[in-house]
Structure 1
Amino acid sequence: MVSKTKMIPVSQIIQQAKQEEKQGKIKTAIATHQEALSLYPSSAWAYYYLGEIYIAQANLSAAIDCYQQAIKYNPTVPQHYIKLGEIYFKQRQLNQALDYFKKAISLYPNCAWCYQNLAEIYAQLHKWLEAVTCYRQALKINPQEVLKYHNSLTIEPDDPKLIKVTNPIFIVGCGHSGTSIMLAILSNHPQFYGITYESALFKQSEAEIRATMQQWDEQCIAAGKKRWIEKTPPHIFQIKKFLLHRPQSQFIIMLRDGRDVVCSLKHRAEYKSFETRVDRWIYENLAGLPYWDHPNVTVVKYEDLVSNPEKTLEKVLSFLGEEYIGEVFNYHQQPKHWYHSEIAKPTTIETQNDHHQLRNWQINQPLFDGRGRWQTEMSISEQQKFQTIAQKYLRLFEYDAT
């Protein structure tokens, strides 16, 4: 406790309380913070650190009161809004959480932690485009902060008694990098049950994710298969989360030359801007980069798949611990209506429907070579712009940058 007979600087009292907390003297630390507030009732930081103790004790209502008081006495500190955003997100009060993180960003525009949280909130609100835009922005600001966020996740593994497929497979990567064709090929393997739609599992709550995976387990076993395979490209932002749910999950990261990806994306309404297309390729691949050396992850280049398909699939199936069967390349012989009711190449690609029809046509064709389209489709000015923005990432992702 602090003597009232002599006014001690509030910072010194706060430091004393933090030391007491570190020593495990929680009640004493709370009393010291309260003493600080009796002496300095407008100390925003005393409220802030008292709120942290209440969070550690899972006393979230008391923590909320503290952070609201902190904002009252110092509304310019982004950390106060971040803490409230985190609490409301934990309580699944998503719109309140959204407002607090937006306020924090208005005070601290380069807050990668805020954008990462915003992405997760938008995902829970089923706002796909806003979510992936924020995931990319977080990585653009500070990839290490994003990794720190992932490492802070505390998700209990799914109950082993409820799991029937312990080692599911996720195909992830930047869109337009061969994820759909890889799913089509592997789904033709006798051991694998393909989830034939993009589930956007990342938009679900933890409880919903568990329930959906268990549902896929049931469908897989009922179909006489051993493992299920799911493909949603933005799940490249969720590798750590899915590993926490099912630690034996395996991931195939599809990778493609960014110049070809940029050309492939140009017909998408939400990617009319050249810079937006380049950003998508850079930051979605950066999301996967920390996991390249993870034992549960393999990286497959689209270029290797189309130029040497047998050897590439042998490596993929060896990684998955399954037998190579050449018949997987007969995937196109069985008509598929995964993305569209028609199996016909659209004459133009101007709408989302056209894009879905094109994807559906592609997975019903034999494997074809889509390499190097940028050489005829990119203007000289676009090639120069790509070189300025993304040449170093071509090298980082092990492509010839010349």
Structure 2
Amino acid sequence: MSSFAATDAPVAQLTITPEPIFVLGAPRSGTSMMQWALRQHPDLWGGPESDFLIPLLSGARAAHAYGTQRGDLHWLSRMGVGEAELLRYVGAGINAMYTQRSGGLRWVEQTPQYTLHLDEMSQAFPGARFVYMLRNGRDVVNSMRNFVYPVEHAEASRIWAEFVRAGIEFSEGPLGDRMIVVPYADAVQDAAPTLAALLQLLGLRHVDDCARFITDKAPINSSFQGGERRIEWSEDEEYQFDTWAGDTMRLLGFE
């Protein structure tokens, strides 16, 4: 396991990555695979899932509300600091910390839960690009049911639909051009052209090693030994899935 020395560098000397990359999507949608593939690029750096940005950014929003409740009697209000500006400064500090640890390389973050917090994430990291992994809901549910931390069928169906709707909502919003949707099937079945196109969209030079990681390596965090397999569902399980995820599946053309 790598270790990193803490830095006491003054804030004025810290630098940030202008366009960090966040790999998002529902759990069990290939986010780990994609982040590891991108990390094979010599101009990129990444680490494990972080999760801490959820309470940090939510706390910043709560702090802004708390620190402006008395209007101009409070510093934030008097200085005209809105919630969005506060989030940008908080994000800049986190960005500087990641950039210090990356040795100045453009960093790639992969935490699926951030998909549900795209509003805060996009404000805190205004230059960030979001790579959204989109996988068939049936395959995701099968994977979640058979992972080391199994999830019940109905809950897995609900989770997939919630995460996918969050991604769709962001991609169709005013900041949608910052999101790149990558179908999981394309990444696995046609890795070379899919990764080539993704690298181009991210403004990165072509590197074969990114696609080779997917085609030549064993699956990352796979729920199944010996490869993916379709599981037959009961009538009740089909009903549960359709109740939670049917509309989203049909919207995306999965069924």
Superposition TM-score, scaled by structure 1 size: 0.47
What is the CA-CA distance between 1:299 and the residue it aligns to? 0.8
> 1 CA distance for matches of 2:122 and 2:16?
16
The change in CA–CA distance for 1:168 and 1:306 in structure 2 (over 3 A counts) is: same
Structure 1 residue 185 displacement after superposition: 0.2
Match of 1:242 in 2: 121
Amino acid at match of 2:49: Y
2:43 maps to 1:202 = no
Work out which of the residue numbers 10, 33, 38 in structure 2 matches 1:181. 33
CA–CA separation in structure 2 for the residues paired with 1:333 and 1:255: 18
Give the direction of change, closer, same or farther, for the CA distance of 1:300–1:393 in structure 2 (3 Å limit). Answer: same
> Using a 3 Å threshold, how does the CA distance of structure 1 residues 275 and 327 change in structure 2: closer, same or farther?
same
Q: Are residue 232 (structure 1) and residue 111 (structure 2) matched?
A: yes
Give the drift of 1:236.
Answer: 0.6
Match status 1:164 vs 2:19: no
Deviates most, 382-391 or 184-193: 382-391
For residues 263 and 284 of structure 1, the distance between their equivalents in structure 2, rounded to whole angstroms, comes to 16
**d(CA) in 1 for partners of 2:149, 2:44:** 33
1:382 paired residue number: 237
Q: 2:182 aligns with which of 300, 306, 315?
A: 300
In structure 2, the gaps of 5 or more residues are 1-10, 61-88
Alignment partner of 1:238: what SS?
helix
Equivalent residue runs for 1:94-113 within 5 Å: none
TM-score using structure 2 length: 0.71
Equivalent in the alignment of 1:76:
none
- After TM superposition, list the pairs within 5 Å mapping 1:109-124 onto structure 2: none
Show the 5 A alignment for 1:139-150: none
Contact 1:257/1:399 (CA < 8 Å) preserved in 2? Answer: no
Asked if the contact 2:16/2:95 (under 8 Å) is kept, the reply is no
Query: Partner of 1:312 in structure 2?
Result: 194
Structure 1 unaligned residues grouped into runs of 5+: 1-158, 336-342, 346-357, 363-367
Which segment is superposed worse, 317-326 or 248-257? 317-326
Q: Write the letter of the residue equivalent to 1:328.
A: C
Q: 1:369 to 1:311 in 2, by over 3 A?
A: farther
Distance (Å, rounded) in 1 between the aligned partners of 2:249 and 2:216: 36
Which residue, 391, 396, 402 being the options, matches 2:246? 391
- Alpha-carbon offset, residue 251 of structure 1: 0.2
State the Cα distance separating 1:384 from its structure 2 match: 4.0
Say if 2:196 is the partner of 1:327: no
Where is the helix percentage greater, Structure 1 or Structure 2?
A: 1
Cα 1:288–1:229 change in 2 (3 A) is same
Structure 2: how far apart are the matches of 1:185 and 1:239? 23
Cα distance change, pair 268–330 in 1 and its aligned pair in 2 (3 A):
closer
1:378 offset after TM fit, Å? Answer: 2.8
Distance 1:392-1:310 versus aligned 2 partners, 3 A rule: same
Specify the SS of the correspondent of 1:295: helix
Q: How does 1:245-256 map to 2 (within 5 A)?
A: 245-256=124-135
Please say if residues 170 and 249 of structure 1, whose CA atoms lie closer than 8 Å, have aligned partners that are also in contact. Answer: yes
Aligned length: 210
C-alpha deviations, 1:160-209, integer Å up to 9, x for none? 98542111000111100000000110000111111233344212244765
What are the Cα deviations for residues 107-133 of structure 1, in whole angstroms up to 9, with x where unaligned? xxxxxxxxxxxxxxxxxxxxxxxxxxx
C-alpha separation in 2, matches of 1:383 and 1:162: 53
Which portions of structure 1, spanning 4 or more consecutive aligned residues, are displaced by more than 6 angstroms? 332-335
**1:400 counterpart letter in structure 2:** F
Q: In the aligned structure 2, how far is the partner of 1:315 from the partner of 1:307?
A: 14
- Residues 211, 262 of structure 1: CA spacing in aligned structure 2 closer, same or farther, 3 A cutoff? same
Deviation at residue 304 of structure 1 after TM alignment: 1.1
CA RMSD of aligned residues (A): 3.2
Choose between structure 1 and 2 for higher RCO, CA contacts under 8 A separated by at least 6 residues. 2
Mapped partners of 2:12, 2:124: distance in 1 = 10
| Aligned residues with identical type, % of pairs | 26
Aligned pairs for 1:1-400 (under 5 A) are 162-204=14-56, 205-206=59-60, 209-220=91-102, 222=103, 225=105, 227-267=106-146, 272-293=151-172, 294-331=176-213, 359=221, 362=222, 370=228, 373-374=229-230, 376-396=231-251, 398-400=252-254
Alignment-mate amino acid for residue 107 of structure 2 = W
User: What is the CA deviation profile of residues 65-119 of structure 1, one whole-angstrom value per residue up to 9, with x for unaligned ones?
Assistant: xxxxxxxxxxxxxxxxxxxxxxxxxxxxxxxxxxxxxxxxxxxxxxxxxxxxxxx
Q: CA-to-partner distance for each residue in 1:38-75, whole Å, 9 max, x for gaps?
A: xxxxxxxxxxxxxxxxxxxxxxxxxxxxxxxxxxxxxx
